[in-house]
Structure 1
C-alpha cells in the first residue's frame, strides 16, 4: 500500500499494515466517535480538505464522510480517481486510501461516501531503540513450525532487536508473509546474556533481492506474551551492543 508520506523524520516511525476487516472497522469507528479530523488529500499536498467520519456502515462496506464547505473542492473530490486520508488516533497516525468518492446524504445533510478500505497503515513512533545485531556471527531465533509448515523447528538469523521485537531474515521463505501470524515458544539465544522464550507476531514483511540475485525476506516481529525477566535480558543485550558499537566508534576516531 502506497501512501503520501513525505516526513523527513520517517525513519523515526515504523508502520504496521492492518488488513483485518474487523480491526479496520473498529479503528475507523473510534476515529469517528472521537471526532478526529481527517486530512483528505485530493491531489497530494496541493489540495487538502479537512473532513471527519460520520458513520462506518459495515453492512454495506462503506464509510460516510463530512463534505467540504467549499463547493468547488467537493467537485474536485468527486472527480478524483484516488484520494489519500490521514488522521491520528491515540497519538498514532492512521493512513488509508480510496479510489473514488460518491455523493450521498446523512441525516438529511449532504455527505460523501467511500468504500471501506481494505487496508490501513498505522504509523507509530518507535517506542524502543533498535540495534542491528552482528552479521558475521548472527544471533538466531528458533521457531517451532506448525504442522501446515511441516512441523519441527527452524532457525532464523536476526537483523536487529529492540525491547518491542525483532527483525529476522527468512531466506528460505519458510514462514510466509502473513501479517498478524503468531508463533509461540520462540527461543532467542542472546550472547553473554542467555536464552529468552517469547511469542512472536509478524507485523511487516519485506522481500529483498540480494546482490547475487538470491531473494530474502525480512520479517518484522513484535514480542507478545514476554515475561518481565526476558524483557530485562533483551534490554541488557541491547546495552551490550551499544557499548560495543560505541567502543568501535571511539577506536575509529
Structure 2
C-alpha cells in the first residue's frame, strides 16, 4: 500500500499545510534570506511575474516582495484581490495565497506589501503522489483557451500539484500558457473542481503505427483547500482499490 493510502484526512492536512502565524512568518523570512524566486499569479491567473521575497513584518501582518521589471505589471498588480505565489526551493513545491498588494518604499526602493497568508502548502517531491486515472472511469479536464474556445481532454494522471492530459495535434497548447478557467469532476462528487493552471510541458509520445500523441502537463496554481482535500480523498480511494485488486 502506498504511503498516502494510509493517511487520514487530518494527517494529510497536518503533513501538507503549514499554519500558525509564527511558523508562517519564520518560513517566509527564510525564503527572503535565501532570495528564493517565486512566480506570482494574479488577475485570476491571467497574468504573472517573477519576484523575490524581501522581508516579513509580522507585527504589521505583511510580506514584502520585489516589484516586477514591467511598469504595466506594477500598475495592474495592486488591483488584484487574490494572488498566488508558487516556488520550488530545494525541489519542494511551495504555494500560498495572499490578498491585495499595496506599493511601499522598502529600504529606499519601491516594493509591494501583501498580507501574510493564512497557511502555506508544502509538497515534497516524494510526497506528491501522482496516480494514473482509472481507464474504466476516465476524468475529463475542461479548460477555456484564449478566444473563448473550450478544450476538453482526458486526464492520464493526476496529483494535488497538477494533472497530465492526453492530447492530439490540435490542442494548440505550449509551455507557459496560463489557463484561467479550468474544471473537472471526480467520480461520486456532486461539485466540479474549479482551478487555475499553467502549462508546464507538452511532450510528444510516439505510439504504434507512427501515431503521435501529446502529453500535456499542467500545474495547479489556484486549488482551493476544500478541492485539495476532495482530490486527496479521490487519490486515496483509487490507491485502496488498486491495492485490493493486487
TM-score, normalization by structure 2: 0.48
TM-score, normalization by structure 1: 0.47
Q: Which has the higher helix share?
A: 2
